[in-house]
Amino acid sequence: MKKTPTRLADGRELVYYDLRDDTVRDDPDPRPLDAVATTSEIRRDPLLGDSVAVASHRQGRTYHPPADECPLCPSAGGRHTEIPAPDYDVAVFENRFPSLAGDSGRCEVVCFTSDHDASFADLTEEQAALVLEAWTDRTAELSEQPGVEQVFCFENRGAEIGVTLGHPHGQIYAYPFTTPRTERMLDSLAAHHAGTGRNLFDDVLAREAADGERIVLDTAHWTAFVPYAAHWPYEVHLYPKRRVPDLRALDDAARAEFGGVYLELLRRFDRIFGEGEPPTPYISAWHQAPLRDPRRGGFALHLELFTVRRTSGKLKFLAGSESGMSVFINDVPPETAARRLREVAST
């Protein structure tokens, strides 16, 4: 992997990640851009104890542009985009319309490929491995920034999820706090250890392996399963078999195997609902340990992949119980979802 950091016309950072070591990235950004102005601030809810980012400047962000005006495509034919190069492997840059900025954190965009019409599932294993290296490198870089407490790498795909740009890409949020979901995991981790003396993540994996009914994929270095109490109709959790707190700690063997495992999961998601269906909308989210929490050592890096589509042509909406009280009601039994995901395995 070759890493080339540079700057866009308004001063935002852009980093190229290339498969070839001899790639040269020296294309300037000729756009007459003003410096980015943000209004992001973090407000704490006194009743729930969680944090809300207020970012009114995002109202003006780019929204469903036509393909020939995509800001994530390479610059070509006299049209200049967020990426000055005429082609790229993986590119990461500071979001022009960040939810978090300054003392409130940082947001980055990760472009997985220069091919506008592709998706992550279309990548080769080598390309997927490069994205993993980019995620890992950005985690390392952002973890060193003052005030950052947790780094979150994720992808939203599909209009049903709320994606505003169709180009295959994800994002990275560097939060100035530990997210509420992670706090709940850490509390459960501590309570389980206090009651049993064991690690909760290790016990969850052992339980799924012993049961076997919800296992979707099991390889030398990774395990993918539908959780016992899945919140979403089709939800898969992917764990490295050697527990580590974040992407930086993955060993070479797990890294080498990741591309094939992850691509297979994404391709199965696209086959869940049968031929002729549009691509399955999904969220793919890496859960990494907070940087300074004393419980960090017991946390297990894992990826959660889920879709809001519950069956052909129907979505799972977060209605009264889910949105009002955070109590999920799942229409698809986890065992049924796991069986279906095994049925659509690549041959």
The per-residue pLDDT of the chain, averaged, comes to: 95
Both 55 and 194 in a single domain? no
Q: Report the distance separating Cα 169 and Cα 112, nearest Å.
A: 5
% residues pLDDT > 70 (the chain): 99
Both 189 and 170 in a single domain? no
Could you give the dihedral angle defined by the CA atoms of residues 93, 95, 99 and 104, in that order, rounded to the nearest 10 degrees? 60
Q: Report the distance separating Cα 272 and Cα 279, nearest Å.
A: 10
Does the pLDDT value for residue 316 go beyond 90?
Answer: yes
Domain's final residue, options 146, 175, 204: 175
* DSSP assignment letter at 334: H
Both 210 and 335 in a single domain? yes
Q: According to the annotation, is 107 in a ligand binding site? A: no
Comparing 33 with 58, the larger pLDDT belongs to: 33
Both 135 and 222 in a single domain? no
Q: What is the pLDDT of residues 69-122, one digit of tens each?
A: 999 999 999 999 999 999 999 999 999 999 999 889 999 999 999 999 999 999
Both 24 and 148 in a single domain? yes
CATH number, domain at 188? 3.30.428.10
pLDDT band, very low/low/confident/very high, at 347 (cuts 50, 70, 90): confident
Both 190 and 158 in a single domain? no
Domain of 246, in residue numbers: 180-343
Both 49 and 118 in a single domain? yes
Q: State residue 63's pLDDT score.
A: 62
Domain's final residue, options 156, 175, 194: 175
Both 204 and 65 in a single domain? no
Does the pLDDT value for residue 7 go beyond 80?
Answer: yes
Of 169, 192, 287, 302, the active-site residue reads: 169
pLDDT band, very low/low/confident/very high, at 65 (cuts 50, 70, 90): confident
Q: What is the pLDDT of residues 125-173, one digit of tens each?
A: 999 999 999 999 999 999 999 999 999 999 999 999 989 899 999 999 9
Q: State residue 93's pLDDT score.
A: 98
Q: According to the annotation, is 221 in a ligand binding site? A: no
Both 126 and 190 in a single domain? no
Q: According to the annotation, is 167 in a ligand binding site? A: yes
Domain's final residue, options 175, 202, 227: 175
The DSSP secondary structure of 262-278, one letter per residue, reads: HHHHHHHHHHTT-TTPP
Could you give the dihedral angle defined by the CA atoms of residues 146, 148, 149 and 152, in that order, rounded to the nearest 10 degrees? -150
Q: State residue 44's pLDDT score.
A: 93
Phi, psi of 174 (to 5 degrees): -105, 105
169 is catalytic: yes
Both 165 and 187 in a single domain? no
Number of compact structural domains in the chain: 2
Both 187 and 168 in a single domain? no
Residues 6+ apart with CB under 8 A from 77: none
Query: For the purposes of burial, counting CB atoms within 10 Å of the CB of 313, is it exposed (0-12), middle (13-18) or buried (19 or more)?
Result: exposed
Nearest in space to 207 (alpha carbons), one of 186, 192, 228, 188: 228
pLDDT band, very low/low/confident/very high, at 335 (cuts 50, 70, 90): very high
Both 206 and 309 in a single domain? yes
Comparing 64 with 226, the larger pLDDT belongs to: 226
The DSSP secondary structure of 163-191, one letter per residue, reads: -S--SSEEEEEEESS--HHHHHHHHHHHH
Nearest in space to 284 (alpha carbons), one of 147, 128, 144: 128
Does the pLDDT value for residue 42 go beyond 80?
Answer: yes
